């Protein structure tokens, strides 16, 4: 075998094991079925939320923001708008993972939506489109992703999740080290039962007005 063929052979990544392909296919099917079913159930609530946003200030109902997806591919995440129109969309640089509950940019409807986590409902569409999965690492904005992936580049191998262990278990400090620890722990132990556990904890956090 020539040196050129050897070089090409070494550079070609091995295909994923058949078991991993089957698991990924099943997970994608479950994402599609569950996200579609939940979206159908909450559709009337989504219409009421859209009407409330329009009645308050007449601005756009949906807020979009660039997030980093699997493989480093950017996508537009969907949320109900919770801030006044034409306000700054990104957190300040140097403050990764920062979220303020008392941000003056929130509208009255927006504060209620964020307290109840209802602003996240449009992300079910992101799950259906394949940008996200139901349970996985938090989808980060490019500035946050650049900071986190310096310490853990493999994070980009995963599809970001609508919810995840960091979203429901994080401490008030919300550090990058904690994000990496919780995401790595979840991925190392990922199973259908663990995913169901995270989803159940997410429901609990929503009911108590905790987590993001």
Structure tokens at 97: 């993972």
Q: Lowest-confidence range among 10-14, 109-113, 143-147, 181-185?
A: 10-14
The residues, any chain, with a CB within 8 Å of residue 51's CB and separated by 6 or more, are none
pLDDT of residue 38: 95
Q: What is the pLDDT of residues 49-73, one digit of tens each?
A: 999 999 998 889 999 999 999 999 9
Three-state SS for 171-201 is: CCCCCHHHHHHHHHHHHHCCCHHHHHHHHHH
Q: Are 113 and 104 in contact (CB under 8 A)?
A: no
Indicate the pTM of the whole model: 0.83
Q: Lowest-confidence range among 83-87, 117-121, 123-127, 139-143?
A: 83-87
pLDDT of residue 90: 52
């Amino acid at each position: 075998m020539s040196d050129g063929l050897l070089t090409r052979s070494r550079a070609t990544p091995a295909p994923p094991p058949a078991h991993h392909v089957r698991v990924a296919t099943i997970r994608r099917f479950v994402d599609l079925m569950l996200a579609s079913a939940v979206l159908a159930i909450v559709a009337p609530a989504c219409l009421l939320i859209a009407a409330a946003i329009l009645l308050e200030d007449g601005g756009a109902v949906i807020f979009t923001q660039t997030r980093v997806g699997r493989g480093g591919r950017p996508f537009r995440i969907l949320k109900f708008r919770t801030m006044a129109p034409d306000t700054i969309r990104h957190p300040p640089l140097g403050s990764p993972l920062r979220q303020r509950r008392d941000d003056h940019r929130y509208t009255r409807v927006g504060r209620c939506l964020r307290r109840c986590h209802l602003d996240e409902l449009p992300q079910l569409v992101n799950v259906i489109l394949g940008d996200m999965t139901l349970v996985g690492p938090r989808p980060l904005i490019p500035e946050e992703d650049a900071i986190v992936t310096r310490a853990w580049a493999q994070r980009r191998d995963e599809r970001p999740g609508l919810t995840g262990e960091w979203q429901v278990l994080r401490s008030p400090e919300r550090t990058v080290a904690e994000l990496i620890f919780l995401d790595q722990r979840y991925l190392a132990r990922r199973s259908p039962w663990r995913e169901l556990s995270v989803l159940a904890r997410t429901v609990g956090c929503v009911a108590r007005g905790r987590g993001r």
